[in-house]
């Protein structure tokens, strides 16, 4: 695969996986080692308190890191994630997740993902990816 194919794979295959479609996550930007994804919260994204569910935010972060981690020549699976929720996300404000590398090695990479809503930082997390060469 060439670099353009790698970006297409990250955007369309990883960014369009069944969970991303179910949650209605949008891939806004993809470039080598970076991704920006968004989600416009709907009723099914909310918790019993009327705020965006932490699981929804975590899933958005996971997807952003997965898209970013798959922009290179090796395919990736996320193997670990840690999130700090900093404030509640308002129910009608778009969430934007930005994933960028902290460290990239041959087999493992660490990604920082930041989620904002209405210009406010909602969550920060780190996701670790395992890289492998797919079978031909």
User: How many structural domains are present in the chain?
Assistant: 1
* Parent domain of 87: 3-132
- Comparison of pLDDT for 2 and 37, the residue scoring more: 37
Write the pLDDT tens digit of every residue in 26-35: 999 999 999 9
Do the Cβ atoms of 33 and 71 come closer than 8 Å?
yes
pTM confidence score: 0.94
Percent pLDDT > 90 in the chain is 88
Q: Mean pLDDT throughout 36-46?
A: 96
pLDDT at residue 136 in the model: 55
Task: Give the CATH number of the domain where residue 58 resides.
Answer: 3.10.129.10
Write the pLDDT tens digit of every residue in 60-117: 999 999 999 999 888 999 999 999 999 999 899 999 999 999 999 999 999 999 999 9
- Give the pLDDT band (50/70/90) at residue 135: low
pLDDT at residue 3 in the model: 75
- Give the neighbor-by-neighbor strand order of the sheet with 120-132: 26-31, 34-39, 95-104, 108-117, 120-132, 75-85
The backbone torsions φ and ψ at residue 64, rounded to the nearest 5 degrees and listed phi first, read -60, -45
């Amino acid at each position: 695969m060439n670099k353009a194919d790698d970006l297409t794979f990250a955007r369309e295959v990883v960014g369009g996986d069944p969970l991303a479609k179910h949650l209605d996550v949008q891939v806004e930007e993809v470039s080598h080692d970076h991704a920006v994804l968004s989600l416009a919260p709907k009723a099914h994204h909310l918790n019993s308190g009327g705020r965006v569910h932490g699981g929804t935010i975590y899933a958005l972060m996971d997807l952003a890191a997965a898209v970013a981690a798959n922009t290179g020549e090796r395919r990736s699976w996320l193997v670990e994630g840690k999130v700090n929720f900093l404030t509640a996300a308002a129910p009608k404000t778009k969430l934007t997740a930005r994933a960028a590398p902290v460290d990239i090695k041959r087999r493992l990479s660490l990604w920082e993902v930041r989620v904002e809503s209405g210009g406010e930082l909602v969550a920060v997390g780190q996701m670790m990816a395992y890289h492998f060469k797919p079978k031909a």
